[in-house]
Amino acid sequence: MRRAPRGNVLPAVVPDPLRPILALLLAAATLLAGCGTVGQGAGDASAVDATQDAVSAEPQPPLDANLFVLDPNRGVVGELQVTVAREEDTFVEFARTYGLGFDELAAANPEVDPWLPGAGTTIVLPTRFLLPRAPREGIVLNVATKRLFFFPPAVPGVPAIVQTYPIGIGRTGWSTPTGETSVTGKARDPVWYVPASVREEHAAMDDPLPAQVPPGPDNPLGNRVLQLGLPGYLIHGTNKPAGVGMRVSHGCVRLFPEDIEYLFDQVPTGTPVRIVNQPVLLARDDVDLLLEVHPPLEESADSWVDDLPPRLERARASLGDSEVAIDSSRVDDILAQARGFPVSILAGGKDTAAQLRGARRVENVIVYEQPIEVAGYEQPAEVIAP
């Protein structure tokens, strides 16, 4: 069943979440991530203190975290939320239920055990996002934040919107490439033609793979694929949803099954795709300046903040007030913590603790009694060239 888009423009929806899984099973699942040719188929103490105001408030329904109306004068969407864990909850369930990625939750909650948060533990839901530095059109993938942004074509008389979803990306040694491309094809219930390099890797681990995997629950591409102009790279679903929001694939981009199904129906062939690597995001929010920092990918860890000083000065000057000052010590703190949600960097603005105190407290809507629906698969049809 498709989880309805989440965001502050639609009512909150309770999705069908995953059942809890063991960390060991997740680790094993990440090894099988398919990319290639496709065929058409049938907190520390201070962090705890900072959230007390939000936690003491009466919980409200969660806000939609996937769909937002765009303001042309603002580079931020969404609202920070917090909820409270129950004994059986893990980050896998929080991620799927609230439209987030596993690594996003881990960064936002650095002192919480992702597999055993514990009953009564406050969980920060980083559902406020700075938009990447890229044209607001088509698909923009930010591999550093492990998040996809889709800007549908404008409709006269209708507010512009953005959809955003967590993604799994290429693991170290199999990095998802950056650059500009486009959607060149679409396929339902794809056949996975396993690349030779992937088969060799699995053979070396005594885990041989067939030359092709037919549609069905064992296909790591899931049941929807968007083909890209970059040979061998795809945006697709997954049969291992727990890996969404992590570095788990052989370079392709994977989404939750409900997200790729929804996106598939809206994205036409020819849609531009820009893949960027931006762990440090900076944007105006009216008269405020916000900084959002994510841990850099291993391969870019040496240069991830090189361009920040001039960007900060340009952003400050854009406010048009010579009296406005940037709190440099707060910038240093945000860079060091890299918690993945926006924080004001202006002197007198809300710091991280204040942001958390003001976060919206929402109900824990994880549900375990409902089974996950598995989409049906059609019989394989003709093969489509990549």
Contacts of 384 (CB under 8 A, 6+ apart): 38, 39, 40, 185, 187
Specify burial of residue 221 (Cβ count, 10 A radius: 0-12, 13-18, 19+).
buried
**236 included as an active-site residue:** yes
**252 included as an active-site residue:** yes
DSSP letters, 124-144, are: EE--EEEPPSS-SSEEEEETT
Q: Which helix (H) or strand (E) holds 319?
A: none
**Active-site residue identified among 35, 250, 252, 294:** 252
- The count of other CB atoms within 10 Å of the CB of residue 357 is 17
**Active-site residue identified among 35, 236, 250, 294:** 236
Q: Which helix (H) or strand (E) holds 36?
A: none
Which of helix, strand or coil describes residue 39? strand
Contacts of 313 (CB under 8 A, 6+ apart): none
Q: Identify whether the C-beta of residue 34 lies closer than 8 Å to the C-beta of residue 174.
A: no
DSSP letters, 228-268, are: ESSTT-EEE--S-GGGTTSEEESS-EE--HHHHHHHHTT--
In angstroms, rounded to a whole number, what is the distance separating the alpha carbons of residues 293 and 285?
16
Q: Identify whether the C-beta of residue 121 lies closer than 8 Å to the C-beta of residue 85.
A: yes
Q: Which sequence positions are flagged as catalytic? A: 236, 252
